Amino acid sequence: MKNKTKWLTISIIIYIIFAIAVTASGLVAPSNIGLAWTLFWYLAVALFMVYFYYKNTNYDAVVYYAKQLHLTEEDLREMVPDIKKSDDVPNPDKPNLFSPIVQVSFKVLNALLPQLEKQAKEHQIPRFD
């Protein structure tokens, strides 16, 4: 299974579980909190799942390209301009399942990915799919 397909499937499954759980429990039922709030929560969780999907696929792409280019965590840190000391970068040697969710920011991933894709193209490394 391709990486993007894996994260898309996981995101959809999480959303379905959310929808079933709140529908069965009546937690966000329109009769309890109103139609506007019910729609808000369904939309908010759907948008979070989109964020979850993109952040995880970008994280996996950064780790893939870093491994293919034999880059270390310190090499990646040097590639990000104006990185704060509190910001983390992906560690290609020890990728962590929860790292994209809580540790590595979108700012860091968005700074790294275009640079790594450019280097990968120069070294004729296959695209991450």
- pLDDT tens digit sequence for 92-102: 888 777 666 76
d(CA 106, CA 66): 17
- Taking Cα atoms as reference points, which of 109, 96, 1 lies closest to residue 51? 109
Burial of residue 4, with CB atoms counted within 10 A of its CB: 0-12 exposed, 13-18 middle, 19 or more buried = middle
Count Cβ atoms within 10 A of the Cβ of residue 63 and give its class: 0-12 exposed, 13-18 middle, 19 or more buried: buried
* Closest listed residue to residue 58, CA positions, set 114, 119, 122: 114
Global confidence as pTM:
0.85
Q: Where are the domains of the chain?
A: 3-122
The pLDDT of residue 106 is above 90: no
